[in-house]
Chain A
Amino acid sequence: MRRFRSAFLSLLFLMLFLVPQVGMAALNDNRPGAKPAAAITSLKATALSQTKLSGNNQLINVRWLVHKDAVEGTSKLRLVIDTKDAVRVSSKLDGTKGSQLVIDINGAAVGNVNDLVDLDGKIADKVRFIKKDNTNSQVIVDLSTMIEDSDYKVFTLKSDAINNKTFRVVIDVNQVVPKVEYNFTAGLRNKVIAIDPGHGGSDPGAIGPNKLQEKTVTLAVAQKVQALLEKAGAKVLMTRKTDVDVFGPNASAVDELNARTLGANNNKADVFVSLHINAFTSPSVGGTATYYYQKSNYDILLANCIQDNLVKTGGLQDRGINAAGFYVIKKTKMPSVLAELGFISNPDEEKLLSTPQFQQKLAQGIVQGLDDFFAQAARKGGGL
Chain B
Amino acid sequence: MFGKRIALISMLLMLSMILGGCDTAAPQSPTVPNVQNENSQTGIEPGKTVNPGQDTMTMTVYFATKDAANLISEKYVVPKNSHPAQTAMELLIAGTKNPDLVAVFPAGTKLRNISVKDHIAYVDFNDSLVKNNKGGSALEILLVGAIVNTLTEFHDIQKVQILVEGKKIDTISGHMDIGEPLSRSEKIIKKSK
Q: Which A residues lie at the B interface, using CB under 8 A?
A: 24-25, 27-28, 30-33, 65, 67-73, 76, 162-164, 198-199, 203-207, 214, 252-254, 256-257, 276-282, 284-285, 289, 291, 319, 323-327, 330, 338, 340, 343-345
Contacts and interface: CB of A to CB of B under 8 A. Distances in A.
B137 A276 contact: yes
A330 B137 contact: no
The 8 closest A-B pairs by CB, nearest first: A279-B136, A33-B186, A206-B135, A67-B183, A70-B182, A71-B185, A70-B148, A253-B170
Given A338-B137, A340-B138, A343-B138, 8 more contacts: A31-B184, A71-B141, A162-B21, A206-B134, A279-B139, A281-B64, A343-B136, A345-B136
A136 B161 CA distance: 40
B25 interface: yes
Interface in B149-169: 149, 152, 155, 157-160, 169
Contact of B25 (A33, A162, A280, A325): A162
A199 B104 CA distance: 21
Nearest to A206: B135
A281 B134 CA distance: 8
Given A27-B22, A285-B66, A254 B103 contact: no
B78 interface: no
Contacts of A319: 69
B139 A281 contact: yes
A291 B124 CA distance: 28
A65 B66 CA distance: 34
B119 interface: yes
Contacts, number: 158
A31 B160 CA distance: 13
B174 A32 contact: no
Q: Considering residues B103, B170, B175, B182, which has the most beta carbons from chain A within 10 angstroms of its beta carbon? A: B175
Contact of B176 (A27, A65, A205, A325): A325
B19 interface: yes
A252 B170 contact: yes
A73 B177 contact: yes
A266 B46 CA distance: 58
A345 B183 contact: no
B145 A70 contact: yes
B69 A30 contact: no
Nearest to B155: A30
A343 B188 CA distance: 20
B20 interface: yes
Nearest to B16: A163
Given A65-B158, A280-B136, A282-B102, A71 B187 contact: yes
B144 interface: yes
B68 interface: yes
B22 A69 contact: no
Contacts of B103: 281
B174 A203 contact: yes
Contact of B174 (A28, A162, A257): A257
Contacts of A207: 134-135
Contact of B20 (A162, A289, A326): A162
A285 to B, nearest CB: 5
Contact of A65 (B20, B69, B119, B148): B119
Contacts of A256: 174
A324 B155 contact: no
A199 B119 CA distance: 35
Contact of A30 (B26, B139, B152): B152
19 contacts: A24-B26, A30-B152, A30-B157, A30-B158, A65-B119, A68-B181, A68-B183, A70-B145, A70-B182, A71-B185, A72-B187, A253-B169, A278-B138, A281-B103, A291-B137, A323-B187, A324-B137, A325-B176, A330-B177
A325 B139 contact: no
Nearest to A317: B67
Contacts of B134: 206-207, 279-281, 345
B171 interface: yes
Nearest to B188: A71
Nearest to B103: A281
B24 to A, nearest CB: 9
Contacts of B152: 30-31
B177 A327 contact: yes
Contacts of A279: 134-136, 138-139
Contacts of B108: none
A33 B177 contact: no
Nearest to A285: B68
A253 B144 contact: no
